[in-house]
Amino acid sequence: MIFTNVQYVFLEKEFGLSNESINQMDNDALGDLYDKVCDIEIDETCKAGNDPLTERGETAVEIVDIMADALGYVQVDDADDDDPAA
């Protein structure tokens, strides 16, 4: 997985993980990390309410998107929320 420097700093600050340790993770460990970053995304989204996300929240969103793509996870498109046919 390729993260930006800001995203690597986030992962190191939040979880104490270095670039090397992340790159050496197997899919189970990456799945666990994904779940933890999702928790941050959810927490920050709830805290923000109708206000913009914090930088922490925005970075978590970016990482979740990258990891979901890399791990082959299906994500729901927010644009379909109002469309009952979707």
Q: Which residue has the tokens 């469309």?
A: 83
pTM of the predicted model as reported, rounded to 2 decimal places: 0.84
29-32 own/partner pairs: CB under 8 Å, 24+ apart: 30/1, 30/67, 30/70, 30/71, 31/71
Which has the closest alpha carbon to 67: 19, 39, 27, 21? 27
In a domain, 83, yes or no: no
In a domain, 13, yes or no: yes
| pLDDT of residue 86 exceeding 60 | no
In a domain, 86, yes or no: no
What is the domain range of residue 27? 5-72
- Dump pLDDT digits (tens) for 19-46: 999 999 999 999 999 999 999 999 999 9
Count structural domains, the chain.
1
In a domain, 43, yes or no: yes
The C-alpha angle 5, 66, 36, rounded to 5 degrees, equals 85
- Dump pLDDT digits (tens) for 56-74: 999 999 999 999 999 999 8
In a domain, 79, yes or no: no
